[in-house]
Structure 1
Amino acid sequence: MPDFRAIACTRYRYRYSECRRCADACPHGAITLSDEGAVASKEACRECGLCIDACPTQAWSSAAFQPIELLREAIKRPAWRMACEPSGCSGDAVVPCLGAVDAVWLAYMARRRIPVSLHGASHCHDCAHGRTGEAQWQRNLQAVETLRDAAETPSDWVMPLLADDERPPGVRERDARKGSGAAARRSLFRRIFRHGAEQAPAAGQPGTPDKVPQQAIRAGAQVMSQRRELLQIVTRRQDDQALHWELDESLPLMQLSLQSGCTLCEACFRVCPTGAIEIVENPGDWALTFQADRCVGCQVCLEACQPRVLDADASFDVRPGQAPITLISRNKQRCSRCDRHFASASPEATCPVCRDDEDAFTAIFG
């Protein structure tokens, strides 16, 4: 059974989150979602590991399937055979499903020039995991190919290959990459930019608050992603030239930009599970910054932004080590009542604390 770490789940950190990547990836309907996170049914779970690959914040994990441990073994070998368990194929490592082997793992091996052969892909049409597993490994292979094409020296990469030697006779050859990357990007764009295409709901409408209440965001420690750290190695370039990337769900990458209309509510900062969004302030200034190296593309910040002014860029430079960008900065104001310094999107005579006190006093005493 996979283990679930609620503090890393966007549904736990933001109660209005609509993220359902793990549930969509599960071919057995074993995952139930709520505003507390997710739960896997012991009766329905078949331990395919697809939820582990699908979650960008790595809220799901398994003691029996740890890709980082497989990587430590694989880099010691001149070549590596990976086989899926349901197919009965043999390999240096047998994984629950080829779709559970994430794109970053495969890309790292390709850049290290270690040949990886994937065995058991022809079994997908007969496999209980194949309903979503096949699409997932296709997207991952497509992402590796796109990374290779954008690399400084693409010819140095040794790409993972689907093995043909163990395919049963008469099985139709399948293209592991055709069309899958474009389909993944279309799905991602529909989810991310849905709020921009639809009219904003009226304030006060059930389920759509006009601003994020404090209790909607659960505070929690920042989480780190081994997958994201590994990807920084894969995307590093010696020539320091830009490495352009189109937004894609298969890799934990995203770049943010901010349109006019930010209310400085700090909801995006409070909800970010990795610390990619930060508040930098001193007595006179306040700034909202974004560090791409820490972002895993979970998109919960886009959901929490009530003015809908935070956007994910369609394409961006993914080189590691870039300086944080400032999304918005403001000079602080001084409260006429308590003399505190505070940041506000527009000139205000009093700070939010004093305004809340005044509202509470009015509500009680009229």
Structure 2
Amino acid sequence: NLKRWFTDVPVHLIQENRAQIGKGERSGEDQIQLGRRNFLRFAGAKVAHGASKWLVDAAPEQDEATSQRFIFPSDGSSSRPSAYQELLAERAESLPWRDHQLPWRSLVFSDACNACLTCAQRCPTGALVPKETKSTISILFRLRQCTDCGLCGHLCPESAISCASVASSEELRAPAHRVMHRSLRQCAGCARSFVPGPDSGELCTTCQNELDVANDWKTMLIDSS
């Protein structure tokens, strides 16, 4: 990525007030341990590039114990900003970007989004933040924390997420902004909140389907009597 992002001008970055990162080889004791099964899951999130020198094989008995570590849970507990991304964002104006192109990309959500929140709940860096109240549901986007891993787009069941180039470092300094917002309706059947579609009534999709099946059975019984 460094060769792709920067020109031939030497770049030296120092992370202030933080522990020094990447100095020498990490010892086996503090390396992240992954078995084959978990490494494939890790790689599936497109963050395993160059990971071979940072990871060591886990013992067989450890594989099962860590089997869920890299399946990002829906509560966002594994989400954390990438240190190098924050460092680059802080110095974006002074770095010699190749062709003057910043390596960040903004996210755009289309109307096809069904507000399932899968993308935000699984975002590994916390760049996508789910917000839900009794009457609304939304997603906030923090550009400077996005590593462009593409996981959100791969997980989206509606293919509703696209990317846009970032023209100025000012966008990196901007606060998190809303990329998706939907109003919620309380289902008259199960009382759960749902995102109504243009043809939705007072029932959520599940309750409406159950009602349709029940009505079909009633029609069949009446016709057969």
Q: Deviations over 1:17-56 (max 9, x none)?
A: 362652xx47xxx58xxxxxx95469xxxxxxxxxxxxxx
Instruction: Tell me what 1:246 maps to.
Output: 101
Alignment counterpart, residue 19 of structure 1, candidates 34, 39, 46 = 46
Q: Deviations over 1:35-94 (max 9, x none)?
A: xxx95469xxxxxxxxxxxxxxxxxxxxxxxxxxxxxxxxxxxxxxxxxxxxxxxxxxxx
Instruction: Tell me what 2:177 maps to.
Output: 325
Deviation at 1:264, TM superposition (A): 1.6
The answer to whether 1:350 aligns with 2:203 is yes
Instruction: Tell me what 1:130 maps to.
Output: none
Instruction: Tell me what 2:219 maps to.
Output: none
TM-score (norm 1): 0.36
Q: How does 1:92-241 map to 2 (within 5 A)?
A: 218-219=72-73, 220-235=77-92
The answer to whether 1:293 aligns with 2:144 is yes
Question: Residue 261 and residue 279 in structure 1: after superposition, are their counterparts in 2 closer, same or farther (change >3 A)?
Answer: same
Alignment gaps of 5+ in structure 2: 1-24, 59-69, 215-225
CA contact (8 A) 1:247 1:315 kept: yes
Instruction: Tell me what 1:314 maps to.
Output: 165
Structure with more relative contact order (C-alpha pairs < 8 Å, separation 6 or more): 2
TM-score (norm 2): 0.55
CA contact (8 A) 2:115 2:137 kept: no
Partners of 2:152 and 2:181 lie apart in 1 by: 18
Question: Residue 231 and residue 18 in structure 1: after superposition, are their counterparts in 2 closer, same or farther (change >3 A)?
Answer: closer
Equivalent residue letter for 1:295: C
Deviation at 1:303, TM superposition (A): 1.4
Secondary structure at 1:303 match in 2: helix
Q: Deviations over 1:159-182 (max 9, x none)?
A: xxxxxxxxxxxxxxxxxxxxxxxx
The answer to whether 1:4 aligns with 2:29 is no
Deviation at 1:226, TM superposition (A): 1.8
Secondary structure at 1:255 match in 2: strand
Q: Deviations over 1:132-183 (max 9, x none)?
A: xxxxxxxxxxxxxxxxxxxxxxxxxxxxxxxxxxxxxxxxxxxxxxxxxxxx
CA contact (8 A) 1:245 1:318 kept: no
Deviation at 1:290, TM superposition (A): 0.9
Alignment gaps of 5+ in structure 1: 32-37, 43-215, 238-243
CA contact (8 A) 1:257 1:310 kept: yes
Query: Aligned residues, how many?
Result: 162
Instruction: Tell me what 2:109 maps to.
Output: 258
Deviation at 1:277, TM superposition (A): 0.7
Question: Residue 352 and residue 293 in structure 1: after superposition, are their counterparts in 2 closer, same or farther (change >3 A)?
Answer: farther
RMSD: 4.0
Question: Residue 20 and residue 229 in structure 1: after superposition, are their counterparts in 2 closer, same or farther (change >3 A)?
Answer: closer
Question: Residue 264 and residue 5 in structure 1: after superposition, are their counterparts in 2 closer, same or farther (change >3 A)?
Answer: farther
Deviation at 1:224, TM superposition (A): 2.6
Deviation at 1:342, TM superposition (A): 2.8
Secondary structure at 1:265 match in 2: coil
Question: Residue 317 and residue 259 in structure 1: after superposition, are their counterparts in 2 closer, same or farther (change >3 A)?
Answer: farther
Secondary structure at 2:108 match in 1: strand
Partners of 2:122 and 2:197 lie apart in 1 by: 20
CA contact (8 A) 1:10 1:19 kept: no
Secondary structure at 1:224 match in 2: coil
Secondary structure at 2:121 match in 1: helix
Q: Deviations over 1:277-302 (max 9, x none)?
A: 11223222221221112212222112
Partners of 1:10 and 1:247 lie apart in 2 by: 30
Secondary structure at 1:260 match in 2: coil
Partners of 1:5 and 1:324 lie apart in 2 by: 33
Question: Residue 295 and residue 5 in structure 1: after superposition, are their counterparts in 2 closer, same or farther (change >3 A)?
Answer: farther
Equivalent residue letter for 2:118: A
Instruction: Tell me what 1:277 maps to.
Output: 128
